[in-house]
């Protein structure tokens, strides 16, 4: 028994190695076509590899083909399942195995069970998912074997080596169970991470609400006053026009503030696009202006001239990253101060600087910056910086923080410049 146990373990190792790619798969969930393609690729690879290196036990070849077939089908859906069935039959043919047509006829009926199971699987609890996957993998193997041996008229092989057969089924069940558990565990982990980002964004939105409301009150008060004036008797027509112009521009301002604020709360699906960093920093300054005014902070903005600073990333995530850093900077200046925002293009990198004249950080504090739940604020969550850093790193950005206690802090972000083809 021991001699093939080693081979089995090797096979297990081989087929589980493609699952390492699963974390990348999860990130592609919103891009269905890529997701499906990668899903198929991963499981087809596992399928082919396990079929190329079968375990030989007393003249019989055993492999774990039903594992990638089952799991790939359950997680990929009907189309992927069909493609995996096709891959399996094609691989078997290419490997020169006999009776390929009979084999295809024997295995294809199991697709029906797989198809039915896929629907139920999606909404099942963890325990049921594991149970479904284990049962399905056993059924696929068993039904195919019975049909194959019946058609080829060699039923005597069915219980030829009962102990070996039982061992393979037990091992297969074990591996399927573990794999489903691992995938579900990862799914939950990623899902939770997404939830943290979302809830932190909601906190950002609610933190800004007071300052936005405050900022909208000013134009409204102004408009109210001018309407009052417009109603007074004997007013000259030029004056009337002038008041009207002011009213409109104040209302436009209010509308801008509201529009900016609303786009802050948006959660669009993640996508990689070319973003103009100047436009985003301008947006940042608009959205922070209300918050800065509210906290007696003066805002200064200096945008790169000449080259348009472009980089790749997700616009709304990038905004969230910048706003988190900018908001911290303002919060570090409870007695007012200056917040400087600047962009610059140099040596194929786009530089964004966010500098404040606030409380600053000691070396120890600086070391802990960006680690989850580190906060020195009464109502802080200590997640903002962590999220910002992870967004920036995803954009292949580099972060440099200089800080001096009592003097202030400077965040410098470096992003790879995205050059658009211009003729």
DSSP 156-172: GGTTSSHHHHHHHHHHH
Dihedral of the alpha carbons of 230, 233, 237, 239, in degrees to the nearest 10: -50
- Do the Cβ atoms of 286 and 312 come closer than 8 Å? no
Nearest approach in angstroms of CB 302 to ligand ADP is 18
- Do the Cβ atoms of 75 and 183 come closer than 8 Å? yes
Nearest approach in angstroms of CB 108 to ligand ADP is 55
| Beta-bridge partners for 411 | 354, 401
Give yes or no for residue 384 binding Mg ion (CB under 5 A): yes
> What is the 3 state secondary structure string of 235-281?
CCHHHHHHHHHHHHHHHHHHHHHHHHHHHHCCCCCCCCEEEEHHHHH
**Residue 363: CB partners within 8 Å, gap ≥ 6?**
none
Give the one entry of Mg ion, ligand ADP, none that residue 376 binds, where binding means its C-beta sits below a cut-off of 5 to 8 angstroms depending on kind. Answer: ligand ADP
Nearest approach in angstroms of CB 334 to ligand ADP is 11
Contact letters for Mg ion, residues 275-314 (x by CB under 5 A)? ----------------------------------------
Nearest approach in angstroms of CB 121 to ligand ADP is 39
Nearest approach in angstroms of CB 278 to ligand ADP is 22
Nearest approach in angstroms of CB 240 to ligand ADP is 48
3-state secondary structure of 385: helix
CA-to-CA separations, 308 to 192, 317, 323, 356, 414, in angstroms, rounded = 37, 20, 21, 25, 15
Point out which span in 15-23, 236-244, 303-311, 324-332 binds Mg ion (CB under 5 A).
324-332
Residue among 278 and 328 whose Cβ is closer to Mg ion: 328
Measured CA to CA, the distance from residue 80 to residue 71 in angstroms comes to 11
Measured CA to CA, the distance from residue 11 to residue 84 in angstroms comes to 19
Residue among 226 and 389 whose Cβ is closer to Mg ion: 389
What H or E segment, with its residue span, contains residue 60? Answer: strand 60-62
Residue among 337 and 384 whose Cβ is closer to Mg ion: 384
Give the one entry of Mg ion, ligand ADP, none that residue 361 binds, where binding means its C-beta sits below a cut-off of 5 to 8 angstroms depending on kind. Answer: ligand ADP
Measured CA to CA, the distance from residue 84 to residue 95 in angstroms comes to 16
Residue among 11 and 357 whose Cβ is closer to ligand ADP: 357
Residue among 82 and 401 whose Cβ is closer to ligand ADP: 401
Nearest approach in angstroms of CB 135 to ligand ADP is 46
What is the contact surface with ligand ADP in residues (CB under 6 A)? 324, 328-329, 332, 356, 358-361, 369, 374-377, 380-386, 409
Residue among 50 and 328 whose Cβ is closer to ligand ADP: 328
Nearest approach in angstroms of CB 8 to ligand ADP is 48
Give yes or no for residue 358 binding Mg ion (CB under 5 A): no
Give the one entry of ligand ADP, Mg ion, none that residue 345 binds, where binding means its C-beta sits below a cut-off of 5 to 8 angstroms depending on kind. Answer: none
Residue among 155 and 334 whose Cβ is closer to ligand ADP: 334
Give the one entry of Mg ion, ligand ADP, none that residue 359 binds, where binding means its C-beta sits below a cut-off of 5 to 8 angstroms depending on kind. Answer: ligand ADP
Give the one entry of Mg ion, ligand ADP, none that residue 377 binds, where binding means its C-beta sits below a cut-off of 5 to 8 angstroms depending on kind. Answer: ligand ADP
Q: Six-digit token pair at 328? A: 């911290």
Identify the residue among 172, 295, 328, 403 touching Mg ion (CB under 5 A): 328
Give the angle 166-168-172 at the CA atoms, nearest 5°.
115
Give yes or no for residue 144 binding Mg ion (CB under 5 A): no
Question: Which stretches of 265-335 are DSSP H helices?
Answer: 277-294, 315-331
Nearest approach in angstroms of CB 383 to Mg ion is 8
Measured CA to CA, the distance from residue 282 to residue 207 in angstroms comes to 20
Give yes or no for residue 72 binding Mg ion (CB under 5 A): no
Residue among 384 and 408 whose Cβ is closer to Mg ion: 384
Residue among 155 and 372 whose Cβ is closer to ligand ADP: 372
Counting Cα atoms < 13 Å in the Cβ hemisphere of 24 gives 11
Measured CA to CA, the distance from residue 173 to residue 1 in angstroms comes to 19
Measured CA to CA, the distance from residue 12 to residue 139 in angstroms comes to 20
Residue among 70 and 328 whose Cβ is closer to Mg ion: 328
Site residues, Mg ion (CB under 5 A) = 328, 384
């Amino acid at each position: 028994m021991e001699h093939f146990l080693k081979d089995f373990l090797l096979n297990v190792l081989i087929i589980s190695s493609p699952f390492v790619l699963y974390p990348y798969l999860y990130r592609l969930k919103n891009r269905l076509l890529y997701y499906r393609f990668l899903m198929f690729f991963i499981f087809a690879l596992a399928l082919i590899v396990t079929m190329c290196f079968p375990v030989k036990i007393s003249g019989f070849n055993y492999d774990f083909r039903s594992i990638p077939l089952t799991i790939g089908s359950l997680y990929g859906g009907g189309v992927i399942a069909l493609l995996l069935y096709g891959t399996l039959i094609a691989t078997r043919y290419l490997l020169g195995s006999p009776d390929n047509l009979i084999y295809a006829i024997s295995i294809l009926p199991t697709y029906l069970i797989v198809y039915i199971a896929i629907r139920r699987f999606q909404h099942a609890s963890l325990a049921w998912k594991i149970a479904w996957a284990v049962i399905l993998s056993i059924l696929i193997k068993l039904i195919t074997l019975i049909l194959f041996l019946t058609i080829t008229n060699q039923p005597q092989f069915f219980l030829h080596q009962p102990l070996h057969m039982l061992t393979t089924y037990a091992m297969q069940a074990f591996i399927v169970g573990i794999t489903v558990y691992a995938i579900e565990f990862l799914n939950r982990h990623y899902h939770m991470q997404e939830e943290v980002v979302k809830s932190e964004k909601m906190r950002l939105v609610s933190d800004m609400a007071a300052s936005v409301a405050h900022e909208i009150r000013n134009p409204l008060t102004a408009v109210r006053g001018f309407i009052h004036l417009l109603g007074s008797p004997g007013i000259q027509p030029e004056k009337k026009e002038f008041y009207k112009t002011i009213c409109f521009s104040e209302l436009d301002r209010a509308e801008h503030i509201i529009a900016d604020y609303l786009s802050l709360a948006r959660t669009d699906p993640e996508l990689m696009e070319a973003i103009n960093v100047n436009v985003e920093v301008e947006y940042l300054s608009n959205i922070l202006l209300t918050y800065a005014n509210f906290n007696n902070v003066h805002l200064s903005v200096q945008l790169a001239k000449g080259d348009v600073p472009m980089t790749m990333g997700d616009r709304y995530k990038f905004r969230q990253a910048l706003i988190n850093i900018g908001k911290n900077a303002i919060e570090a200046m409870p007695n007012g101060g200056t917040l400087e925002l600047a962009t610059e293009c140099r040596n194929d990198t786009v530089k964004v600087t966010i500098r404040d004249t606030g409380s600053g950080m000691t070396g120890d504090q600086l070391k802990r910056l960006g680690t989850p739940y580190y906060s020195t604020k009464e109502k802080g969550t200590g997640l903002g910086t962590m999220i910002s850093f992870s967004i920036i790193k995803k954009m292949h950005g580099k972060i440099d923080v200089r800080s001096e206690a009592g003097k202030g802090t400077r965040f410098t972000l470096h992003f790879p410049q995205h050059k658009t083809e211009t003729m």
